[in-house]
Amino acid sequence: MTRTDTPGFFADLRACMAFITILPTGKNPVYSPVGMIRFFPVVGLIIGTLLVITDFLASMVWPAPAAALVDLIFLVAVTGAFHLDGLGDTADGIFSHQSRERALEIMKDSRTGMMGLVAVVLGLAAKLAGIWSVKSSCSPVQAMAILLLVPSFSRASMILGIKYLKYGRKGRGTGKDLFDRPLNSKDFYLCLIPLGFSLLLGYKGLILISGFAMGCVAILKFYEQKMNCITGDMLGAMTEVMEALLFMAAGMNVI
């Protein structure tokens, strides 16, 4: 991708899709690292829309457990396992019980260690259980709305990570360009889309909103305590953890 910092609305959207998904974006999408940040929740909605379609088709053929597995495979495939790779690398580094500098070096290692493997397996298992619970405990309309919104909320969480924690690596890195300028309110306004739709979901929507708020605070506090910074890998891990957490929360039988 060709880099530019002022490409325009649709070019920024294309750049965001090309960065965090494998979806087709046309020829030669620009690379707009700062401009695309605000589109994280919009691309999440696109992923959520495709997830709803995938779930509808899978549910015509298989019962809920198998359809949930198909949904999970789609979520992994549509990102090219980009965020999962970040989850594994982050777990290897943060749980290595090494210094911050050594933990950052471990995260850059392309090899996956035991902690990374455990984190990926548990993350996928939690997400599968969450999707299955949503399909089993919610009405069809509620389940469709949750499948639509959770990918959007989980990707919106990255904006908060960029806003509230400094970038941790010296020199270049996967997420370095996202920190080229401080974020402002204009970078957050598209987050109102999943928030607004959630308000139409009743108590399930409130669960999504409160889960998003509490999950973001908890993860960012954990990152701050452990590393006092954030990286591209850690942003990917945040997306994966938030997605699993929100599916699990939305699938609870609270009423």
Q: What percent of the chain clears pLDDT 90, i.e. is strictly above it? A: 75
Contact 211, 246 (CB under 8 A): yes
pTM over 0.85: yes
- Indicate the average pLDDT of the chain: 92
Distance, in Å, from the CA atom of 127 to the CA atom of 51, rounded to the nearest integer, reads 13
In a domain, 64, yes or no: yes
Number of domains in the chain: 1
What residue numbers bound the domain in which 186 lies? Answer: 42-250
- CA 67 to CA 71: how far, in whole Å? 6
Positive/negative CA dihedral, 72, 74, 76, 82: negative
| Residue 1 maps to a domain | no
Specify if 18 maps to a domain.
no
Is residue 6 in a domain?
A: no
Using the structure block, give the residue that is written with the tokens 């891990």. 237
Crossing angle (nearest 10°) for helices 114-137 and 140-164: 140
255 within some domain:
no
Whether 91 maps to a domain, the answer reads yes
CA distance 221 to 218: 5
Q: Is residue 241 part of a domain?
A: yes
Q: Give tens-digit pLDDT for 83-97.
A: 999 999 999 999 988
Q: Is residue 212 part of a domain?
A: yes
pLDDT (tens digit, 9 = 90+) per residue, 13-64?
999 999 999 999 888 777 888 889 999 999 999 999 999 999 999 999 999 9
